[in-house]
Amino acid sequence: MSLHAQMQPGGDAKKANMIQFFQYLQGIRDKEAVLKYITAMAYIENLYVDSVDTQKMTEASLRGMLEGLDPHSTYATPKEVKSFNESLDGEFEGVGIQFNILEDTLVVIQPVIKGPSEKVGIIAGDRVISVNDTAIAGVKMSKEEIMMRLRGPKGTNVKLGIIRSGVKDVVYFNVTRDKIPVKSIDAVYMIRPQIGYIRIGSFGKTTHSELVDGLKELKKKGMRDLIIDLEDNGGGYLQAAVEIANEFLAADELIVYTKGRVIQRQDFKAMGNGMMQDGRLVILTNEFSASAAEILSGAVQDQDRGVIVGRRTFGKGLVQRPVELPDGSMIRLTVAHYYTPSGRCIQKPYKKGEKEAYALDLDNRFKHGEFTNADSIHFADSLKFETLKKQRTVYGGGGIMPDYFVPLDTTRYTAFHKQLAAKQIIVNGNLKYMDKNRSQLKKTYKTFDEFYEKFEVPESYINSIFEEGKKKKIEPKDEKEKEKTLAYLRPQLKALIARDLWDLTEYFRVWNENSDIIKKALEVLETNAAQ
């Protein structure tokens, strides 16, 4: 199926789903099993010694059914469905602030640009202490409950009580909730002359349009080649991956195909009208790149459109069909597998019902040395495939193996740093530092470029983090561990400050200069340019 064909609108979806549902009912082979389940539920509800929660029993039954299937067939409650959809639909309805919790108080990191909070004058550093006259500070309210109070239907009003530095009394703001965009692209910038960089955090409904905007911006700045960063990208919508791949592939080139026991093979092909048909392309992946991220990586690699740099991807190649239930809950049922253009199945092996073993796969890969040594990765000859143009050898067996392997540098992540991070000492330290110094930093550094060139993380800031760690009995075991931690911590803190003064693009502009995968990608582009 072409990209154009799959985007054509269908008919009445609900009516079609109902018709299909009754067809499925008629097609059940073991009707006695269904009757057995209904009979058991009826007797339990009517005869059991205590009152029962039928809803909870049904949910437990559904989860039990799916437990015996593959690792990615799941059940979600209506609340979980709403949360999942918001993350991929590209918007939610609320007040429009990025925030964190510091010492039991909500601190505004940034108001969303042109969002409802910014419009009424809420600024970074403000502390929200009440929502509609209900205290949310100092009452140990969970982050989830605070979010629930801040969010609400577009057009509804919410009264926020705010403490602001330099202002004696509590200031109240009436905010009219609105649709708040959720960006799925984290960063867009020129990483080197003529080389653009785009980091995709997930594949949602707006990802393709965000990418197109990013490509336009970078082309205006002289981009010829592009790095797409899919590290830690857990995937999302197939449609988004197909649309993005279309920007780089020629007409009728296969992007991905799906096939299942009942679902017939379905091909997704490029239309050839993409914005970047020329120019070199490098895709960055790691062990947390999954699903839609693997579709894009596999298409680019198999069609010899670009190269993959990093580590083998997660290996999530199962197609889920969402089945909405009457109460708004949902089953995401696996109906097919994803295959790359060369015929590789993206899904790594698994045994039905053994979800715990599946969840430990990354741990086992780490223990076997796969993250640190390419030689520890062995593929059977039966898993060898060839790319479609240059006939380069690529491998199946789950996930996408990069063309250029970059080992995980385990020496950079000291036990001391991990403990500081786990206890929220680094995050809270950043919040405190920004709270005290935001105004002065903004006065001193008018532009990010000036900040990047001149700013050095103060020793007093680092010492405050170490002192806080000491209070919680977290200390480096020796001077060597302390120095290794500092080498990682300094750029991390600088990146966090850049994020809070500007945005995620500036965070990655700082952080990427310390990334081994980024360095390798730039080396690949520079080496190929010289040939």
Neighbours of 276 (CB within 10 A): 19
Residue 340 and residue 283 in contact, taking contact as beta carbons nearer than 8 Å: no
Q: How wide is the angle at C-alpha 189 spanned by C-alphas 433 and 241, nearest 5°? A: 110
Catalytic residue among 225, 302, 342, 494: 302
Q: What share of the chain is helix, strand, coil (3-state, %, to 5)?
A: 40, 20, 35
Catalytic residue among 70, 178, 229, 316: 316
**CA pair distance 303, 300, nearest whole angstrom:** 5
Q: Which two structure tokens, joined as six digits, stand for 44?
A: 């339990």
Q: Which two structure tokens, joined as six digits, stand for 153?
A: 């239907």
Strand pairing category for 404-405 and 105-111: unpaired
Stated as kind and residue range, the H or E segment containing 134 is strand 134-135
Neighbours of 385 (CB within 10 A): 17
Q: Which residues contact 24 (CB under 8 A, 6 or more apart)?
A: none
Indicate if 31 belongs to the active site: no
Instruction: Give the total residue count for the chain.
Output: 531
Q: Given the structure tokens 């039966």, which residue do they identify?
A: 382
Catalytic residue among 291, 297, 342, 515: 291
Distances (CA, A) of 184 to 51, 195, 240: 45, 21, 11
Residue 337 and residue 430 in contact, taking contact as beta carbons nearer than 8 Å: no
Neighbours of 333 (CB within 10 A): 18
Indicate if 316 belongs to the active site: yes
Residue 406 and residue 515 in contact, taking contact as beta carbons nearer than 8 Å: no
List, in sequence order, every residue forming a beta bridge with 345; answer none if it has no partner: 339
- Secondary structure class of 439 (helix, strand, coil): helix
Indicate if 252 belongs to the active site: no
For 304, phi then psi, to 5°, come to 55, 35
**CA pair distance 513, 322, nearest whole angstrom:** 40
Of 525, 495, 528, whose CA–CA distance to 223 is shortest?
A: 525
* Catalytic residue positions, numbered: 291, 302, 316
